[in-house]
Each structure stands twice: as C-alpha cells, then as structure tokens.
C-alpha cells in the first residue's frame, strides 16, 4: 500500500446489509463524512469470488467506486470456527441464504458443532475477521483488518447486532455480541487495541488513525 490518504466528503458504503450499514454509520459519525449506501444508489452486488476477506472487500469497494465515481468503503467479514475447520469463514453470509436470515445459519452452526462432538467451551473456539477496504476512483486503495477471538455459545443470547453476534462471546467478556450495545461493542477508549472490542471496530480503529480526521 502507498502513503495513506485522508477520506473526506461524500463516501459510498459498499454494502446492502442493513446491520453492517448501521454499524458503519455509527463508527463514521464523528468524522463529518457524508454517507450513501450502495443500496441507496441502486448499485448491484458484485460477485465475491476472492479467496480472502481482503479480496472480497476490495471487489465490493472497487465496484462501488467505479459505478459511483465516489470513494467507497467496504467491509468483508465472517466468523471462523476452529472445530469446523474455519467454516463458515468466507461463506458466513452464504449460510444465511439469499434472504440473509441468520437464524437458520446459527442453527446450522450448532448442528455442525454437535456432529463433531464440540460441546465444551474449549472445543468451540472461534474468531471474527473484518477486512475494510477504501477504494478511490483513481485506483488508490487502503486495507485495514481486525480480529477478535472468543467462543461459540450453546444458546443464542441477545437481540442486538446482527449475523452471528448472538452466539459469539468474545474473550474477556461474559456476554455475547448480541447482548452488547453499540457503545460497548465498538469500545470507546481507542488509545490501545483492547479499547475496540469487535473485529469491525478494531479494523476501523486502524482505518481512523490512518485516513480520518475529526472536524475542528
């Protein structure tokens, strides 16, 4: 990657996922960025055929910036479960089906873990990954990644967040992401990595330090 570039003005959030869009709006709120989503612009969802989270994030960001002529920010993320050989991983959203209903996806996770006899917490280790890519119309790109490790719970808990949040309990906490409010999940003290709790907040922490400035 070349020298960091400040992100200013109007930016496309390259997602059609309302939960992800809501989180990105919350994270970007302090920086005076004017946001519009790919869904708002009627942009099609590109084929995500990368082999890494960073590749799929770049595919979405580049497609959005080329279609809109605006800088675009994209996230590709998922949960990787050790006992399932890293699944669902890149296919985390696919497990939810075309309607993006994560209740069956969560049920599938529990079924697959039970099939493998992964019933104890130490057998249900997992981590979330988030890759954030900013793409500009002139071809410049920035990549930032975040990870958080934890355990898949036996029961879904909480109605906050989205996706697999209700069954992921991050290390050092006694509640799932689904039981945490936005402020707790995102964290407030970003002076050290532990200040950002979620994978997306940790990736965003690095992005903010490199590419964002708060208005005076």
User: In this predicted structure, what is the pLDDT of residue 191?
Assistant: 44
CATH number at residue 180: 3.90.950.10
Give me the pLDDT at residue 194, please: 53
In a domain, 4, yes or no: no
Residue 3 lies in a domain: no
In a domain, 150, yes or no: yes
User: What's the pLDDT at 12?
Assistant: 97
Among residues 40, 75, 76, 85, which one is catalytic? 76
pLDDT under 50 in the chain at which residues? 1, 190-193
State residue 192's pLDDT score: 46
| Position 216 in a domain | no
Identify whether 134 is part of a domain. Answer: yes
Three-class SS of the chain: CCCCCCCCCEEEECCCCHHHHHHHHHHHHHHCCEEEECCCCCCCCCCCCCCCHHHHHHHHHHHHHHHHCCCEEEEEEEEEEHHHCCCEHHHCCHHHCCCCCHHHHHHHHHHHHHHCCCCCHHHCEEEEEEEEEEECCCCCEEEEEEEEEEEECCCCCCCCCCCCHHHEEECCCCCCHHHCCHHHHHCCCCCCHHHCCCHHHHHHHHHHHHHCCCCC
76 tagged catalytic: yes
pTM: 0.91
| Domain enclosing residue 31, as ranges | 10-211
In total, how many domains does the chain have?
1
- The answer to the question of residue 64 being in a domain is yes
């Amino acid at each position: 990657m070349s020298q960091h570039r400040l992100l200013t003005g109007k930016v496309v959030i390259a997602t059609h996922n309302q939960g992800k869009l809501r989180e990105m709006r919350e994270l970007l709120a302090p920086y005076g960025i004017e946001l519009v989503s790919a869904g708002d612009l009627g942009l099609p969802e590109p084929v995500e055929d990368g082999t890494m989270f960073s590749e799929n994030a770049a595919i979405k960001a580049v497609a959005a910036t080329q279609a809109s002529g605006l800088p675009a920010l994209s996230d590709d993320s998922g949960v990787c479960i050790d006992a399932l050989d890293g699944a669902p991983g890149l296919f985390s959203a696919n497990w939810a089906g075309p309607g993006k209903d994560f209740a069956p996806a969560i049920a599938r996770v529990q079924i697959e873990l039970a099939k493998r006899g992964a019933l104890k917490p130490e057998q249900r280790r997992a981590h979330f990954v988030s890759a954030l890519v900013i793409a500009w119309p002139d071809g410049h790109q920035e990549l930032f990644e975040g990870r958080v490790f934890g355990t898949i719970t036996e029961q879904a808990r909480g109605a906050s967040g989205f996706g697999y949040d209700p069954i992921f309990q991050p290390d050092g906490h006694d509640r799932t992401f689904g039981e945490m409010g936005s402020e707790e999940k995102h964290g407030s003290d970003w002076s050290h990595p532990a200040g950002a709790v979620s994978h997306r907040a940790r990736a965003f922490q690095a992005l903010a330090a490199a590419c964002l400035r708060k208005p005076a």
